[in-house]
């Protein structure tokens, strides 16, 4: 087990560490097995936060300690712990003989960073969409309040935009313009109403 990439530890019924592999020691910042053996897992976790040579990030450490105490009462469900240096591990407990439990500590730092990046990207997308919606609403309000009639026709001859003043000046029904008609259809509507006969 000393040669596997994931940390492995064995705790007794009182959560005292009775054995660890090398990967566990590296993950939790211990120089030797003797430093970790005999500590309860909560104390080993707290030790990890004090080995960074900087003030302990009290909130994250206490949050992790509370998580540990809750999870180790009835070991079995996997749980995640934040470690110093923006690292994360998932702890999976399995029951062993004589009241002992085997804990596997899997480094999930990359996964958590990807999750955080995805959440940040989603937040930026929502913010951009909200900004675009606000700008669109302002533009629509501006167009509706214009004194001039405005019609915008796309390259494939579809009427993309027609403000209320244009509909009033050209006597165009709102139901027709809401359907994004072709410009030819609008002209046909005008011809059916003999609008062009009034032109000089």
Average pLDDT over residues 32-50: 87
173 with 192: CB under 8 angstroms?
Answer: no
User: Which of 24-28, 59-63, 120-124 has the weakest average pLDDT?
Assistant: 59-63
Asked if 159 and 167 touch (Cβ cutoff 8 Å), the reply is no
pLDDT > 70? residue 59: no
pLDDT greater than 60 at residue 52: no
Report pLDDT for 86.
81
Using the structure block, give the residue that is written with the tokens 């087990």: 1
Q: Give the Cα separation of 25 and 19 in Å (integer).
A: 10
Whether 55 has a pLDDT exceeding 70, the answer reads no
The pTM of the full predicted model, rounded to 2 decimals, is: 0.58
Positive or negative torsion for Cα 165, 169, 173, 175: negative
Specify the pLDDT at position 45. Answer: 84
Give the three-state DSSP class for 54.
coil
**Cα 182 to chain centroid, rounded:** 42
Rg (CA), the chain: 34
């Amino acid at each position: 087990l000393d040669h596997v990439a994931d940390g492995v530890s064995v705790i007794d019924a009182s959560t005292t560490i009775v054995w660890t592999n090398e990967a566990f020691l590296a993950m939790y910042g211990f120089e030797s097995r003797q430093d970790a053996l005999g500590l309860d897992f909560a104390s080993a976790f707290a030790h990890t936060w004090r080995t960074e040579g900087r003030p302990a990030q009290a909130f994250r450490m206490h949050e992790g300690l509370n998580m540990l105490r809750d999870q180790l009462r009835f070991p079995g469900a996997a749980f995640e712990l934040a470690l110093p240096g923006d690292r994360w591990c998932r702890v999976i407990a399995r029951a062993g003989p004589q009241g002992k439990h085997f804990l596997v500590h899997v480094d999930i730092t990359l996964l958590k960073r990807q999750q955080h990046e995805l959440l940040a990207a989603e937040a930026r997308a929502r913010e951009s969409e909200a900004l675009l919606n606000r700008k669109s609403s302002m533009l629509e309000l501006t167009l509706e309040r214009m004194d001039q009639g405005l019609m915008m026709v796309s390259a494939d001859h579809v009427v993309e935009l027609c403000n209320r003043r244009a509909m009033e000046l050209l006597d165009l029904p709102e139901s027709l313009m809401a359907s994004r008609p072709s410009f030819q259809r609008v002209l046909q509507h005008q011809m059916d109403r003999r609008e062009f006969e009034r032109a000089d």
